[in-house]
């Protein structure tokens, strides 16, 4: 029995046999083609190219049907690459002019581009390398007769193990049989993770060399909560995980049936539970699980999955669709959080040395004003349709906040001059995601209507840990005393100024932290819609006094391990049926 650790991306426990994908970079034979046969060899390449385009078109249609328009645009982008003369021209030249066999011409040309992208040291270019790698595999599959159709022919439950998994492979899997995914490489925010999470299976990435330790058919336990994979478990371990999985399944079923219950503590304190979404279609699930509205609409996904920047009308349509689906519930739109490892796909920017400390989020918007103003126009126009709030991400200085508000006001004035009705009372807020903003919360509170504490980045910047780096993943924890003190400072500052405060990081959906967050003074949480029912379960079983007592107790601790242990103990006491799976920490 071997246990391998990685980065948890999507929760759940999967128990099944392993399905190991072979390495994508195949060894391709090289030989010269005599002049009289080169036209035929070129035609063979063109047929493979056409077949690959057909596969992509089918995958695009399938992604549209199963995952929605945004996901399908990834394949539109790939189709565009397959028509790029800078990619295809050298291949045709090698075959026609130099007599290189089509297989090797494809492999050598694509490999050169892939290696160049990987050598640039930026996640942006690594993502581009994966796109090119996927195209190389598709063409070689048809040329060499080794099509990767195994995934679509699955007839039993499996956990897929791979070095890397391209977005195309993730979307083209037989999802009825794939019950989990684990990879050597990858991070929480790449395209594969986004699509895998949409498929609804547990995912663990960044496992280093898992492909070297797992063989086809090995029994696998994949724990998407703890980010662990157990290979060939003994009978005792297998039985333990099976009991945990079954208990969690029962717990989820029971909580889903109680989704309409009010999120009110035993002593009558009401907690507002909002949803974090990326697509309008997620609102249906949000309402199903009893959400009170949208606390975080991540608007950049439309940019990430499209080869071209969306128009004002496309943005307006998305926002108004969301408002109408919410039926009077509030919609909080976060302006673009581009930059760092998230760029629109058509951009070919020179990579920054440290992109997470570079031109990202509000900084990116303030330096790309036409794009920023276009989004703000769409947002303000949509505000006339229903309740809407505007939120600026990653504010670090008062200057940034004032600049963003000034641009918003200018756009509103322009629209009114055009005869467009723009409400004058749109709530304006900001995210607290960096220590400087948390420490200056009292000052920022004078300029905004609400705060949203983004703990994903706040933890990262406070403890200097990249949350997608598996080497230091153990240091990335919301139970760090410094993080808790910063959150407490924001809540207190906001309360003194009468500013509404919510928390929209991952810990909002982790029952381990529910009592602590209530005890610190939060009365609004924003989380993944499917997590709402189980958070309600905790809220409905505790009193405010219990939560405040717990917050005071752990506030005196200096060790994050001790804090996490106590939080887990209290959560297990309150909700024993959820122990062993949802307390991810």
Which residue reads 């079923």 in tokens?
253
pLDDT digits over 303-335, tens only? 766 667 889 999 999 999 999 999 999 999 999
**Beta-bridge mates of residue 505:** none
Which phi and psi (to 5°) does residue 373 adopt? Answer: -65, -35
Residue range 460-469, pLDDT digits in tens: 999 998 766 6
Percent of the chain with pLDDT over 70: 83
d(CA 69, CA 322): 15
3-state secondary structure of 138: helix
- Structure token pair of residue 483: 């993080």
pLDDT of 197 reads: 59
| Residue 207 annotated to the active site | no
pTM of the model: 0.72
Q: Is 368 a catalytic residue?
A: no
| CA pair distance 411, 418, nearest whole angstrom | 11
Give the Cα separation of 193 and 205 in Å (integer): 8
Q: Of the listed 78, 142, 163, 191, which one is catalytic?
A: 191
Ordered domains of the chain (ranges, CATH): 13-21+150-249 (3.50.30.10), 22-144 (1.10.274.10), 258-577 (3.20.20.60)
Give the DSSP H/E element, type plus range, for residue 48.
helix 38-67
Closest CA to 179 of 138, 219, 207: 219
Q: What is the pLDDT of residue 385?
A: 95
So what's the pLDDT on residue 304?
Answer: 67
Q: Which of 102, 100, 124, 104 is nearest to 35 (CA)?
A: 100
Q: Which residues of the chain carry a pLDDT beneath 70?
A: 22-29, 66-68, 70-71, 120-127, 144-153, 165-175, 186-200, 256, 304-307, 340-353, 355, 467-471, 473, 578-585
Half-sphere exposure of 374 (CA within 13 A, CB side): 15
Q: What are the backbone angles phi and psi of residue 402, rounded to the nearest 5°?
A: -65, -35
């Amino acid at each position: 029995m071997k246990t391998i650790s990685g980065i948890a991306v999507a929760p759940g426990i999967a128990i099944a046999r392993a399905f190991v994908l072979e390495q994508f970079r195949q060894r391709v034979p090289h030989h010269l083609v005599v002049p009289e046969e080169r036209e035929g060899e070129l035609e063979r390449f063109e047929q493979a190219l056409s077949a690959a385009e057909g596969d992509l078109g089918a995958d695009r249609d399938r992604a549209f049907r199963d995952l929605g328009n945004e996901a399908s645009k990834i394949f539109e982008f790939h189709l565009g690459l397959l028509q790029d003369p800078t990619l295809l021209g050298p291949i045709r030249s090698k075959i026609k002019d130099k007599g290189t066999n089509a297989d090797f011409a494809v492999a050598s040309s694509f490999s050169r581009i892939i290696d160049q992208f990987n050598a640039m040291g930026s996640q942006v270019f690594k993502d581009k390398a994966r796109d090119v790698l996927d195209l190389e595999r598709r063409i070689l599959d048809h040329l060499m007769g080794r099509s990767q159709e195994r995934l679509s022919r699955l007839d039993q439950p499996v956990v897929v193990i791979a070095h890397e998994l391209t977005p195309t492979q993730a979307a083209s899997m037989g999802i009825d049989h794939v019950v989990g995914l684990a990879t050597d490489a990858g991070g929480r925010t790449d395209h594969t993770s986004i699509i895998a999470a949409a498929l609804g299976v547990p995912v663990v990435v960044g496992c280093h060399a898992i492909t070297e330790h797992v063989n086809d058919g090995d029994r696998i336990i994949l724990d998407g909560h703890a980010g662990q994979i157990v290979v060939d478990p003994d009978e005792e371990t297998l039985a333990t995980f099976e009991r945990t999985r079954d208990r969690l399944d029962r717990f989820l079923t029971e909580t889903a049936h109680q989704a309409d219950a009010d999120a009110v503590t035993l002593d009558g304190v009401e907690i507002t539970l909002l949803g974090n979404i990326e697509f309008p279609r997620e609102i249906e699930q949000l309402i199903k699980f009893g959400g009170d509205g949208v606390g975080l609409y991540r608007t950049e996904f439309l940019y990430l999955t499209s080869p071209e920047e969306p128009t004002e009308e496309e943005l307006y349509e998305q926002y108004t669709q969301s408002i109408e689906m919410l039926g009077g519930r509030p919609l909080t739109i976060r302006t673009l959080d581009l930059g760092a490892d998230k760029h629109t796909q058509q951009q070919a920017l020179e990579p920054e040395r440290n992109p997470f400390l570079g031109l990202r989020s509000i900084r990116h918007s303030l330096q790309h004003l036409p794009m920023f103003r276009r989004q703000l126009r769409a947002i303000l126009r949509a505000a006339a349709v229903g309740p809407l709030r505007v939120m600026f991400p990653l504010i670090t200085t008062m200057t940034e906040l004032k600049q963003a508000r000034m641009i918003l006001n200018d756009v509103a004035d322009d629209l009114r001059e055009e005869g467009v009705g723009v409400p004058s009372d749109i709530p304006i807020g900001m995210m607290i995601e960096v220590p400087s903003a948390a420490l200056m919360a009292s000052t920022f509170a004078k300029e905004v209507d609400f705060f949203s504490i983004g703990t994903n980045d706040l933890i990262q910047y406070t403890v200097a840990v990249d949350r997608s780096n598996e080497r230091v993943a153990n240091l990335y924890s919301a139970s760090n005393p410094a993080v808790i003190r910063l959150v407490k400072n924001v809540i207190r500052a906001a309360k003194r100024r009468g500013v509404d405060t919510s928390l929209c990081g991952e810990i909002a959906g982790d029952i381990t932290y529910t009592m602590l967050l209530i005890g610190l003074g939060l009365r609004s949480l924003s989380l993944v819609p499917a997590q709402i029912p189980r958070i309600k379960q905790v809220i409905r079983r505790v009193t405010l006094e219990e939560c405040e007592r717990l917050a005071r107790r752990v506030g005196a601790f200096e060790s994050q391990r001790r804090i996490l242990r106590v939080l887990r103990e209290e959560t297990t006491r309150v909700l024993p049926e959820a122990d062993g799976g949802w307390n991810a920490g």
